[in-house]
Structure 1
């Protein structure tokens, strides 16, 4: 190859100098960016700690949703009573002693829901926090007119009005008895023996699809019969019922 001319050599030197300057600029930009990121993280941390301190939160690592006021709850059960509508329903259970209600604990909250009730039989009364889920559009006002005050307007927090922010209620209930899970009450089948025969008939026909028989043969199989959810497992030439429980009610949210 022929040697570079003097003009080309000068041009290459200038390019090398420009590349060197660009590398230094990129390095400076990276350092500036890293410093800005560290400063932002420090500022955000200090701001969060100050927010936690003003809100008197015990744990600095509390959930951000709780800090923002977005608290998520899971219903542990549903209540049914002898009062199906609000008209005539007493303000507190002590007003109408003979009235009865039933609280059914959701089996989906715990793997063994009956364990959560151990020791509760030692008490005569229980406090129940519940949700007014039939409040229409959950509208509320700062002042209301309670029926017992003959039209006088007072603050909603000084009343028992169910139309309030968060729509939560608190009641003291006398504990009558604690029962385990009932056998499912059938709608179409006439007896437990008939239900057992129906389950045997379903399992003897092996209701699994071809895909489940070949690809998922080691997995549990679920099906519903009348008002019962049935969990079973198929082995080599046999089927075993593992669990029979009532169908969980699907309650539409209001």
Structure 2
């Protein structure tokens, strides 16, 4: 009988713990809803204030030409509005928030890759010149995948056992400006790739070119193509590349190499 009472007491204790967790989650949801409601009210108030300053005759006035972009940027900068252009995106072996170490020294063998956007500079390899002489780099980044844009003035860091402190005294990514700064060890620099295919089985472009030359040197066309369709283009696939070529009298010309189109199931 005492054993059954002990099991019941343990079960009741677990239920109480679950109820406590549920209450905390409900409290967090209420705080999030209240924060969203306040932001909505502030947004509506700003819209009403802007509309109240517009008179009936203002809509009929002749519109003046907008200021040039340089003046707009200068005015925005004076007001504290800074416009940034992402130079690249970083990816690491940690694809989810859960399990990602808060300190980089906890998992030394982990690696990350920063891919520079080719659209920022006309020659994307030029801004990387000389960077190989340094062992570490400073990276200023934006938490663009926070999950939500809301933030609180006080947060509970995991190491403080529930103690609330100001968000500016923590490294919480949920802050008014979701910016971050990190010191990263520079492992290697790889030249930006072009618009060609990224090979899966071949290790380099030189190896791919050698493989293409090997295929063409054996003339992979059928007898029918050699005799009846010799003036037509020939297509074949190698790894992740689709090659278009043309066979002439004693030579072969590669006209195009492009990635193989992936069709969804």
State the TM-score, normalized to the length of structure 1: 0.51
Name 2:168's counterpart in structure 1: 157
Q: Is the 8 A contact 1:92 1:172 kept in 2?
A: no
Q: Is the 8 A contact 2:118 2:124 kept in 1?
A: yes
Q: Is the 8 A contact 2:149 2:174 kept in 1?
A: yes
Name 2:198's counterpart in structure 1: 185
- Quote the Cα distance in structure 2 between the aligned partners of 1:113 and 1:172: 23
The match for 1:65 among 66, 76, 81 is 76
Offset, 1:139:
0.7
Task: Indicate how the Cα distance of structure 1 residues 93 and 184 shifts in structure 2: closer, same or farther if over 3 A, else same.
Answer: farther
SS at match of 1:66: helix
Name 1:132's counterpart in structure 2: 143
- Quote the Cα distance in structure 2 between the aligned partners of 1:245 and 1:130: 33
Name 1:85's counterpart in structure 2: 96
Offset, 1:163:
0.4
Equivalent pairs, count? 158
Matches within 5 A, 1:219-234: none
Q: Is the 8 A contact 1:143 1:155 kept in 2?
A: yes
Q: Is the 8 A contact 1:93 1:172 kept in 2?
A: no
- Quote the Cα distance in structure 1 between the aligned partners of 2:258 and 2:87: 17
Name 1:148's counterpart in structure 2: 159
Matches within 5 A, 1:1-254: 63-182=74-193, 184-186=197-199, 192=208
Q: Is the 8 A contact 1:128 1:171 kept in 2?
A: yes
- Quote the Cα distance in structure 1 between the aligned partners of 2:141 and 2:158: 22
Q: Which has the larger radius of gyration?
A: 1
Name 1:214's counterpart in structure 2: none
Per-residue CA distance 1:135-175 (angstroms, 9 max, x = gap): 12211001100000111100101101010112111111100
SS at match of 2:191: coil
Task: Indicate how the Cα distance of structure 1 residues 195 and 153 shifts in structure 2: closer, same or farther if over 3 A, else same.
Answer: farther
What are the ranges of 5 or more consecutive residues in structure 1 without an aligned counterpart? 1-59, 198-203, 206-225, 229-237, 248-254
Task: Indicate how the Cα distance of structure 1 residues 141 and 103 shifts in structure 2: closer, same or farther if over 3 A, else same.
Answer: same
- Quote the Cα distance in structure 2 between the aligned partners of 1:70 and 1:150: 36
Task: Indicate how the Cα distance of structure 1 residues 97 and 165 shifts in structure 2: closer, same or farther if over 3 A, else same.
Answer: same
State the TM-score, normalized to the length of structure 2: 0.49
Task: Indicate how the Cα distance of structure 1 residues 158 and 227 shifts in structure 2: closer, same or farther if over 3 A, else same.
Answer: farther
Larger CA deviation: 98-107 vs 60-69: 60-69
Offset, 1:87:
1.1
Q: Is the 8 A contact 1:92 1:171 kept in 2?
A: no
